[in-house]
């Protein structure tokens, strides 16, 4: 039965080719995207795994202008972020969670020296001088819950661009409500009422433990104040010591 054999061979070969084509077109890993966001891809990224979430304000203009810049370049070069949160709380996703977006630049947090390789970047549409909108904060809280759950990022590992690049970056601005975010369980925050730090407590060493690069102490203190005191002064006081004492005890406590 030569004709039937030929037909059978053709079917087998076709199935094999179809399987190969299936393999070739299948993604390397499943896309990691938020169901809360509108997929609006930027071509500017590399592969990596996230351990931290970095928050920014755009100070670009409006969301449309921000989306355009985050898919092309700014005056410094090509830039992107994983997410943009618009004024009305709409969330755009520009880069897959599994890929490395280009939002942090020269940066350090703890032992991490290239935050683009280890973080999710979230831009918030804001001019740097105005309060963040309630819909933006609501959307951010929902997105942080989604990201920390899906990607296994610790809920405390949420920082600002200004925290990881002291002296170079100051976003999100001093108006960003870190305390509100903490009440939702995101970011490292101190317990109240504050307990005075013991005599001889080393505030700078505690800042280093939290993650700050203290090689330029003045810049690090301003970044710490912006985040924890909603001010941008450059000298440490007893309240700072008490806050850092609380943060240090939380970081040193055995995990439960």
φ/ψ (deg, to 5) at 79 = -135, 160
Joined together, the tokens standing for residue 48 give: 């990596």
Nearest distance from residue 162's CB to Zn ion, in Å? 8
CA dihedral 105, 109, 112, 114 (to 10 degrees): 0
Active-site residue set: 123
- Shortest Cβ distance from residue 10 to Zn ion (Å)? 58
Q: Which is nearer to Zn ion, 59 or 133 (CB)?
A: 59
By beta-carbon proximity to Zn ion, the closer residue of 56 and 82 is 56
Burial 187-225 (b: 16+ CB within 10 A, else e): bbbbeeeeeebeeeeebeebbeebbbbbeebebbbbbbb
Binding site for Zn ion (CB under 5 A): 56, 161, 171
CB of 118 to Zn ion, least distance (A): 16
């Amino acid at each position: 039965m030569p004709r039937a054999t030929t037909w059978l061979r053709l079917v087998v070969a076709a199935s094999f080719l179809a399987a190969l084509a299936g393999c070739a077109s299948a993604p390397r890993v499943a896309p990691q995207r938020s169901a809360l966001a509108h997929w609006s891809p930027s071509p500017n990224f590399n592969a990596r795994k996230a351990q931290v979430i970095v928050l920014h304000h755009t100070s670009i203009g409006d969301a449309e202008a921000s989306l355009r810049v985050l898919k092309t370049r700014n005056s410094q070069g090509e830039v992107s972020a994983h997410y943009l949160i618009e004024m009305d709380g709409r969330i755009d996703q520009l880069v897959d969670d599994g890929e490395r977006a280009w939002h942090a630049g020269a940066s350090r947090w703890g032992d991490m020296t290239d935050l683009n390789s280890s973080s999710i970047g979230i831009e918030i549409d804001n001019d740097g001088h105005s309060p963040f909108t309630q819909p933006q904060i609501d959307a951010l809280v929902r997105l942080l819950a989604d990201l920390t759950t899906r990607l296994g990022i610790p809920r405390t590992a949420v920082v600002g661009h200004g925290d990881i690049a002291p002296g170079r970056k100051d976003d999100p601005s001093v108006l960003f409500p870190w305390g509100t975010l903490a009440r939702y369980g995101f970011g490292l925050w101190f317990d109240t009422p504050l307990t005075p730090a013991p005599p001889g407590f080393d505030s700078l060493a505690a800042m280093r433990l939290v993650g700050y690069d203290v090689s330029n102490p003045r810049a690090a203190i301003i970044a710490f104040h912006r985040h924890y005191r909603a001010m941008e002064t450059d000298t440490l006081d007893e309240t700072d010591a008490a806050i850092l004492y609380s943060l240090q005890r939380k970081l040193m406590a055995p995990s439960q």
